[in-house]
Structure 1
Amino acid sequence: MISFKQFLREADDSQDAREFFHREAAPFIDQAEGAGVLVRGTHHSPPVYKTVTLPSGKEITVHRMEVRKDRKPMDMPREAHEIADKFMKDKFGIAGRSGTAFVVGAVNSELAAGYGDLYAVIPQGEFRYIWSPKTMDLYDYFEYTGFDGRARGMETPEKISMWREELEGMKYQDTDLPRAIRSGFEVMLECDHLLLVRVDDDEILDELYKVLR
Protein backbone atom coordinates (compact mmCIF):
# COMPACT_ATOMS: atom_id res chain seq x y z
CA MET A 1 0.00 0.00 0.00
CA ILE A 2 1.30 3.47 -0.91
CA SER A 3 0.91 6.63 1.13
CA PHE A 4 -1.35 9.50 0.10
CA LYS A 5 1.74 11.63 -0.67
CA GLN A 6 3.12 8.90 -2.92
CA PHE A 7 -0.23 8.67 -4.66
CA LEU A 8 -0.23 12.40 -5.35
CA ARG A 9 3.34 12.28 -6.60
CA GLU A 10 2.65 9.38 -8.96
CA ALA A 11 -0.51 11.04 -10.20
CA ASP A 12 1.47 14.12 -11.22
CA ASP A 13 2.72 13.69 -14.80
CA SER A 14 5.43 16.33 -14.44
CA GLN A 15 8.92 15.25 -13.41
CA ASP A 16 11.82 17.18 -11.95
CA ALA A 17 13.88 18.42 -14.91
CA ARG A 18 17.27 17.69 -13.35
CA GLU A 19 16.30 14.15 -12.44
CA PHE A 20 14.75 13.58 -15.87
CA PHE A 21 17.67 14.79 -17.98
CA HIS A 22 20.31 13.14 -15.80
CA ARG A 23 18.50 9.86 -16.33
CA GLU A 24 17.69 10.27 -20.05
CA ALA A 25 20.82 12.10 -21.24
CA ALA A 26 23.63 11.14 -18.87
CA PRO A 27 26.23 10.56 -21.65
CA PHE A 28 25.68 14.07 -23.03
CA ILE A 29 25.83 15.68 -19.59
CA ASP A 30 29.08 13.87 -18.80
CA GLN A 31 30.74 14.85 -22.07
CA ALA A 32 29.43 18.43 -22.28
CA GLU A 33 30.91 19.24 -18.86
CA GLY A 34 28.49 22.10 -18.30
CA ALA A 35 29.50 23.89 -21.51
CA GLY A 36 25.90 24.66 -22.42
CA VAL A 37 23.17 23.56 -24.76
CA LEU A 38 22.94 22.66 -28.43
CA VAL A 39 20.12 24.10 -30.53
CA ARG A 40 18.46 23.71 -33.92
CA GLY A 41 15.63 25.31 -35.83
CA THR A 42 12.82 23.28 -37.33
CA HIS A 43 9.46 23.86 -38.98
CA HIS A 44 8.24 20.44 -37.82
CA SER A 45 6.45 19.81 -34.53
CA PRO A 46 8.22 16.92 -32.76
CA PRO A 47 6.07 14.46 -30.77
CA VAL A 48 5.51 15.27 -27.11
CA TYR A 49 7.47 12.99 -24.79
CA LYS A 50 7.29 14.33 -21.23
CA THR A 51 6.48 17.35 -19.07
CA VAL A 52 9.22 18.42 -16.66
CA THR A 53 9.54 21.11 -14.02
CA LEU A 54 12.49 23.50 -14.10
CA PRO A 55 14.16 24.80 -10.89
CA SER A 56 12.05 27.99 -11.15
CA GLY A 57 8.89 25.88 -10.96
CA LYS A 58 8.03 26.48 -14.61
CA GLU A 59 6.75 23.42 -16.47
CA ILE A 60 8.09 22.77 -19.96
CA THR A 61 7.30 20.18 -22.60
CA VAL A 62 10.06 17.85 -23.74
CA HIS A 63 9.66 16.53 -27.27
CA ARG A 64 11.33 13.44 -28.72
CA MET A 65 12.47 13.07 -32.31
CA GLU A 66 13.95 10.10 -34.14
CA VAL A 67 17.18 10.84 -35.99
CA ARG A 68 16.92 9.85 -39.64
CA LYS A 69 19.64 7.63 -41.07
CA ASP A 70 18.83 8.39 -44.71
CA ARG A 71 19.04 12.17 -44.79
CA LYS A 72 19.16 13.66 -48.29
CA PRO A 73 20.98 16.94 -49.04
CA MET A 74 18.74 20.00 -49.19
CA ASP A 75 21.14 22.30 -51.03
CA MET A 76 24.54 20.68 -51.39
CA PRO A 77 25.04 18.80 -54.69
CA ARG A 78 24.49 15.06 -54.27
CA GLU A 79 28.04 14.14 -55.32
CA ALA A 80 29.62 16.48 -52.76
CA HIS A 81 27.22 15.21 -50.08
CA GLU A 82 28.07 11.57 -50.80
CA ILE A 83 31.82 12.15 -50.88
CA ALA A 84 31.70 14.01 -47.56
CA ASP A 85 29.53 11.27 -46.09
CA LYS A 86 31.99 8.57 -47.15
CA PHE A 87 34.95 10.64 -45.93
CA MET A 88 33.41 10.89 -42.44
CA LYS A 89 32.35 7.25 -42.46
CA ASP A 90 35.87 6.15 -43.36
CA LYS A 91 37.50 8.42 -40.78
CA PHE A 92 35.11 8.19 -37.83
CA GLY A 93 32.67 5.39 -38.59
CA ILE A 94 29.86 7.97 -38.72
CA ALA A 95 27.82 8.88 -41.80
CA GLY A 96 28.07 12.54 -40.90
CA ARG A 97 25.92 13.96 -43.68
CA SER A 98 23.22 11.30 -44.04
CA GLY A 99 22.93 9.72 -40.59
CA THR A 100 23.12 12.59 -38.12
CA ALA A 101 21.22 15.62 -36.86
CA PHE A 102 22.81 19.03 -37.49
CA VAL A 103 22.94 21.31 -34.44
CA VAL A 104 24.96 24.28 -33.15
CA GLY A 105 25.86 25.68 -29.76
CA ALA A 106 23.33 28.08 -28.26
CA VAL A 107 25.72 30.98 -28.84
CA ASN A 108 24.62 30.66 -32.47
CA SER A 109 20.87 30.55 -31.72
CA GLU A 110 20.11 33.34 -34.15
CA LEU A 111 21.49 31.29 -37.03
CA ALA A 112 19.59 28.16 -35.94
CA ALA A 113 16.34 30.11 -35.63
CA GLY A 114 16.60 30.92 -39.31
CA TYR A 115 15.60 27.32 -40.03
CA GLY A 116 12.38 27.43 -38.01
CA ASP A 117 11.23 27.37 -34.39
CA LEU A 118 14.19 27.24 -32.03
CA TYR A 119 14.65 24.14 -29.87
CA ALA A 120 17.29 23.16 -27.36
CA VAL A 121 18.58 19.72 -28.36
CA ILE A 122 19.93 16.96 -26.12
CA PRO A 123 20.83 13.51 -27.46
CA GLN A 124 18.97 10.80 -25.58
CA GLY A 125 21.23 8.02 -24.33
CA GLU A 126 24.43 7.06 -26.09
CA PHE A 127 25.60 9.29 -28.93
CA ARG A 128 28.58 10.22 -31.07
CA TYR A 129 29.43 13.43 -32.89
CA ILE A 130 31.68 15.11 -35.44
CA TRP A 131 32.58 18.77 -35.76
CA SER A 132 35.23 20.99 -37.31
CA PRO A 133 36.98 23.79 -35.40
CA LYS A 134 37.76 25.38 -38.78
CA THR A 135 34.37 25.28 -40.51
CA MET A 136 31.18 26.76 -39.08
CA ASP A 137 28.95 25.10 -41.70
CA LEU A 138 30.01 22.69 -44.42
CA TYR A 139 27.41 23.81 -46.96
CA ASP A 140 28.27 27.46 -46.42
CA TYR A 141 31.92 26.62 -46.98
CA PHE A 142 31.10 24.75 -50.16
CA GLU A 143 28.81 27.48 -51.48
CA TYR A 144 30.43 30.74 -50.43
CA THR A 145 34.14 29.98 -50.86
CA GLY A 146 33.57 29.33 -54.55
CA PHE A 147 34.58 25.71 -54.19
CA ASP A 148 31.31 24.57 -55.76
CA GLY A 149 32.30 26.34 -58.96
CA ARG A 150 35.77 24.78 -59.04
CA ALA A 151 34.52 21.26 -58.41
CA ARG A 152 30.97 21.28 -59.78
CA GLY A 153 29.84 17.84 -60.87
CA MET A 154 32.82 16.08 -59.30
CA GLU A 155 32.78 13.74 -62.26
CA THR A 156 36.54 13.14 -62.32
CA PRO A 157 38.93 11.49 -59.84
CA GLU A 158 40.85 14.78 -59.68
CA LYS A 159 37.80 16.72 -58.47
CA ILE A 160 36.87 14.00 -55.98
CA SER A 161 40.42 14.09 -54.63
CA MET A 162 40.26 17.90 -54.46
CA TRP A 163 37.09 17.81 -52.33
CA ARG A 164 38.50 15.13 -50.02
CA GLU A 165 41.62 17.25 -49.50
CA GLU A 166 39.43 20.20 -48.58
CA LEU A 167 37.55 18.02 -46.08
CA GLU A 168 40.82 16.75 -44.61
CA GLY A 169 41.98 20.32 -44.14
CA MET A 170 38.89 21.14 -42.08
CA LYS A 171 40.32 18.99 -39.25
CA TYR A 172 37.07 17.25 -38.39
CA GLN A 173 37.17 15.53 -35.02
CA ASP A 174 35.00 13.48 -32.70
CA THR A 175 36.40 14.85 -29.45
CA ASP A 176 36.16 17.97 -27.23
CA LEU A 177 32.41 18.45 -27.09
CA PRO A 178 32.64 21.42 -24.69
CA ARG A 179 34.71 23.35 -27.23
CA ALA A 180 32.30 22.38 -30.00
CA ILE A 181 29.33 23.69 -28.01
CA ARG A 182 31.03 26.96 -27.11
CA SER A 183 32.19 27.53 -30.70
CA GLY A 184 28.66 27.70 -32.12
CA PHE A 185 29.92 25.70 -35.11
CA GLU A 186 27.97 22.90 -36.78
CA VAL A 187 27.92 19.64 -34.80
CA MET A 188 26.69 16.41 -36.39
CA LEU A 189 25.02 14.20 -33.77
CA GLU A 190 24.69 10.47 -34.31
CA CYS A 191 22.12 8.89 -31.98
CA ASP A 192 18.74 7.22 -32.16
CA HIS A 193 16.64 10.00 -30.62
CA LEU A 194 16.87 13.64 -29.63
CA LEU A 195 15.14 15.34 -26.72
CA LEU A 196 13.98 18.84 -27.67
CA VAL A 197 12.69 21.79 -25.67
CA ARG A 198 11.10 24.78 -27.39
CA VAL A 199 13.08 27.91 -26.58
CA ASP A 200 10.52 30.65 -26.09
CA ASP A 201 12.92 32.95 -24.26
CA ASP A 202 16.47 33.11 -22.88
CA GLU A 203 15.26 32.04 -19.43
CA ILE A 204 14.58 28.57 -20.78
CA LEU A 205 18.20 28.24 -21.90
CA ASP A 206 19.47 29.64 -18.60
CA GLU A 207 17.51 27.08 -16.63
CA LEU A 208 18.54 24.23 -18.91
CA TYR A 209 22.17 25.21 -18.31
CA LYS A 210 21.54 24.73 -14.61
CA VAL A 211 19.93 21.31 -14.85
CA LEU A 212 22.43 19.93 -17.39
CA ARG A 213 25.30 20.03 -14.91
Structure 2
Amino acid sequence: MVPVGRKLFRAHSRKHLTGATGEFSNPNLQRARKPRDMPLATHQILNEWFVDRFGVAYREKSLFCTGDPLIAAGYVNSDSSLILIEPVGNYSVCYSPNCKDLFGIYQFYWSTSNPSALEIRTRMDGLDFVQHQNSGLSEAAATGCEVMLFAESFRYQIC
Protein backbone atom coordinates (compact mmCIF):
# COMPACT_ATOMS: atom_id res chain seq x y z
CA MET A 1 0.00 0.00 0.00
CA VAL A 2 1.24 3.51 -0.80
CA PRO A 3 2.03 5.51 2.38
CA VAL A 4 -0.29 8.35 3.39
CA GLY A 5 0.81 11.65 1.89
CA ARG A 6 2.37 10.55 -1.36
CA LYS A 7 -0.62 10.01 -3.64
CA LEU A 8 -4.27 10.97 -3.90
CA PHE A 9 -6.99 8.34 -3.53
CA ARG A 10 -10.73 8.29 -4.10
CA ALA A 11 -13.63 5.91 -4.46
CA HIS A 12 -14.76 6.19 -8.06
CA SER A 13 -17.69 4.76 -10.01
CA ARG A 14 -16.57 1.82 -12.14
CA LYS A 15 -18.74 3.00 -15.04
CA HIS A 16 -16.04 5.63 -15.76
CA LEU A 17 -13.13 3.17 -15.49
CA THR A 18 -11.99 1.21 -18.53
CA GLY A 19 -9.49 -1.16 -16.92
CA ALA A 20 -6.91 -1.46 -14.16
CA THR A 21 -5.33 1.79 -15.38
CA GLY A 22 -6.50 4.48 -17.73
CA GLU A 23 -7.83 8.00 -18.15
CA PHE A 24 -11.26 9.55 -17.87
CA SER A 25 -12.74 12.99 -18.42
CA ASN A 26 -13.99 15.00 -15.46
CA PRO A 27 -17.68 14.02 -15.30
CA ASN A 28 -18.48 17.20 -13.34
CA LEU A 29 -17.64 19.45 -16.29
CA GLN A 30 -20.73 18.24 -18.18
CA ARG A 31 -23.07 18.64 -15.23
CA ALA A 32 -22.73 20.16 -11.78
CA ARG A 33 -21.84 17.67 -9.06
CA LYS A 34 -24.73 17.14 -6.67
CA PRO A 35 -23.99 16.69 -2.97
CA ARG A 36 -24.52 13.18 -1.65
CA ASP A 37 -25.22 14.02 1.99
CA MET A 38 -25.20 17.81 2.36
CA PRO A 39 -28.32 19.94 1.79
CA LEU A 40 -28.31 21.62 -1.61
CA ALA A 41 -28.69 25.13 -0.13
CA THR A 42 -25.56 24.70 2.04
CA HIS A 43 -23.69 23.14 -0.89
CA GLN A 44 -24.52 26.16 -3.06
CA ILE A 45 -23.36 28.65 -0.41
CA LEU A 46 -20.09 26.74 -0.08
CA ASN A 47 -19.65 26.57 -3.84
CA GLU A 48 -20.20 30.33 -4.15
CA TRP A 49 -17.61 30.89 -1.41
CA PHE A 50 -15.02 28.90 -3.39
CA VAL A 51 -15.86 30.78 -6.60
CA ASP A 52 -15.55 34.13 -4.81
CA ARG A 53 -12.30 33.15 -3.10
CA PHE A 54 -10.52 31.14 -5.81
CA GLY A 55 -12.48 31.54 -9.05
CA VAL A 56 -13.30 27.82 -9.28
CA ALA A 57 -16.59 26.10 -8.46
CA TYR A 58 -14.76 23.43 -6.47
CA ARG A 59 -17.86 21.92 -4.84
CA GLU A 60 -19.53 21.40 -8.23
CA LYS A 61 -16.69 20.88 -10.72
CA SER A 62 -13.91 19.03 -8.92
CA LEU A 63 -13.31 15.45 -7.85
CA PHE A 64 -12.88 14.81 -4.13
CA CYS A 65 -9.93 12.78 -2.95
CA THR A 66 -7.54 12.37 -0.02
CA GLY A 67 -3.99 11.31 0.68
CA ASP A 68 -5.31 8.76 3.19
CA PRO A 69 -6.28 5.52 1.42
CA LEU A 70 -8.23 4.30 4.46
CA ILE A 71 -10.51 7.34 4.39
CA ALA A 72 -11.05 6.95 0.63
CA ALA A 73 -11.73 3.22 1.05
CA GLY A 74 -14.56 4.10 3.42
CA TYR A 75 -16.47 5.56 0.45
CA VAL A 76 -16.15 2.44 -1.73
CA ASN A 77 -19.44 0.64 -2.40
CA SER A 78 -20.63 -2.14 -4.71
CA ASP A 79 -20.50 0.17 -7.75
CA SER A 80 -17.11 1.77 -7.13
CA SER A 81 -13.42 1.01 -6.72
CA LEU A 82 -10.59 2.61 -4.78
CA ILE A 83 -8.27 4.36 -7.21
CA LEU A 84 -5.07 6.36 -7.23
CA ILE A 85 -5.76 9.54 -9.18
CA GLU A 86 -3.72 12.31 -10.77
CA PRO A 87 -4.66 15.13 -13.12
CA VAL A 88 -3.72 15.16 -16.79
CA GLY A 89 -2.65 18.57 -18.08
CA ASN A 90 -3.46 21.80 -16.27
CA TYR A 91 -5.14 21.48 -12.89
CA SER A 92 -5.81 23.19 -9.62
CA VAL A 93 -6.04 21.72 -6.16
CA CYS A 94 -7.78 23.17 -3.12
CA TYR A 95 -7.79 21.99 0.49
CA SER A 96 -7.58 23.13 4.08
CA PRO A 97 -5.00 21.56 6.39
CA ASN A 98 -7.50 22.44 9.16
CA CYS A 99 -10.47 20.59 7.66
CA LYS A 100 -10.41 16.80 7.45
CA ASP A 101 -13.75 16.78 5.61
CA LEU A 102 -16.07 19.72 4.93
CA PHE A 103 -19.07 17.46 5.54
CA GLY A 104 -17.78 17.03 9.10
CA ILE A 105 -17.82 20.82 9.50
CA TYR A 106 -21.39 20.81 8.22
CA GLN A 107 -22.41 18.09 10.69
CA PHE A 108 -20.77 19.78 13.67
CA TYR A 109 -21.71 23.41 13.04
CA TRP A 110 -24.66 23.60 10.66
CA SER A 111 -26.73 20.41 10.57
CA THR A 112 -28.86 21.18 13.64
CA SER A 113 -29.32 24.88 12.94
CA ASN A 114 -30.32 26.98 10.00
CA PRO A 115 -27.18 29.10 9.53
CA SER A 116 -27.20 32.17 7.37
CA ALA A 117 -24.94 32.44 4.34
CA LEU A 118 -22.87 34.95 6.34
CA GLU A 119 -22.37 32.45 9.18
CA ILE A 120 -21.25 29.76 6.74
CA ARG A 121 -18.92 32.14 4.88
CA THR A 122 -17.41 33.38 8.15
CA ARG A 123 -16.65 29.81 9.27
CA MET A 124 -15.12 29.09 5.84
CA ASP A 125 -12.89 32.17 6.11
CA GLY A 126 -11.39 30.71 9.28
CA LEU A 127 -10.50 27.32 7.79
CA ASP A 128 -7.49 28.61 5.80
CA PHE A 129 -8.23 26.91 2.49
CA VAL A 130 -5.36 27.09 0.00
CA GLN A 131 -5.23 26.68 -3.76
CA HIS A 132 -2.35 25.60 -5.98
CA GLN A 133 -2.22 25.80 -9.78
CA ASN A 134 -0.33 22.94 -11.47
CA SER A 135 1.48 22.10 -8.22
CA GLY A 136 0.80 21.19 -4.61
CA LEU A 137 -0.43 17.61 -5.04
CA SER A 138 2.07 16.13 -2.58
CA GLU A 139 1.41 18.88 -0.04
CA ALA A 140 -2.35 18.35 -0.36
CA ALA A 141 -2.05 14.57 -0.06
CA ALA A 142 0.25 14.85 2.96
CA THR A 143 -2.48 16.58 4.98
CA GLY A 144 -4.70 13.50 4.86
CA CYS A 145 -7.58 15.95 4.46
CA GLU A 146 -10.30 16.27 1.83
CA VAL A 147 -8.75 17.52 -1.42
CA MET A 148 -10.73 19.04 -4.28
CA LEU A 149 -8.97 18.35 -7.58
CA PHE A 150 -10.06 20.28 -10.66
CA ALA A 151 -8.90 19.27 -14.16
CA GLU A 152 -10.36 18.33 -17.53
CA SER A 153 -9.17 14.74 -17.25
CA PHE A 154 -7.48 12.33 -14.88
CA ARG A 155 -5.21 9.31 -14.96
CA TYR A 156 -6.04 6.48 -12.56
CA GLN A 157 -4.89 3.13 -11.25
CA ILE A 158 -7.23 0.77 -9.41
CA CYS A 159 -5.75 -0.14 -6.02
| TM-score, normalization by structure 1 | 0.64
Moved over 6 A (4+): none
Structure with bigger gyration radius: 1
Q: Percent identity?
A: 26
Look up the SS of the partner of 2:154 in the other structure.
strand
1:64 Cα shift? Answer: 1.8
On the 8 A contact 1:62/1:195 being kept in 2, the answer is: yes
Look up the SS of the partner of 1:122 in the other structure.
strand
1:177 Cα shift? Answer: 3.6
On the 8 A contact 2:7/2:138 being kept in 1, the answer is: no
Higher strand share: 2
Q: How does 1:96-107 map to 2 (within 5 A)?
A: 96-105=58-67
- What residue identity is the alignment partner of 2:121? R
Q: Provide the residue aligned with 1:164 in structure 2.
A: 121
For residues 160-211 of structure 1, what are the alpha-carbon distances to aligned partners after superposition, in whole Å with 9 as ceiling and x for unaligned?
Answer: 1000001111111103443211111111011011111001xxxxxxxxxxxx
1:148 Cα shift? Answer: 1.8
Match of 2:12 among 11, 22, 42: 42
Match of 1:130 among 86, 94, 97: 94
Query: Where does structure 1 lack aligned partners over 5 or more consecutive residues?
Result: 1-34, 50-60, 200-213
Structure with the bigger RCO (C-alpha within 8 Å, sep 6+) is: 2
Distance 2:137 2:84 in 1: 16
Distance 1:196 1:178 in 2: 16
Look up the SS of the partner of 1:133 in the other structure.
coil
- What residue identity is the alignment partner of 2:138? P
| TM-score, normalization by structure 2 | 0.84
Query: Where does structure 2 lack aligned partners over 5 or more consecutive residues?
Result: none
Distance 1:42 1:191 in 2: 16
Instruction: State the aligned residue count.
Output: 145
Q: CA RMSD in A?
A: 1.6
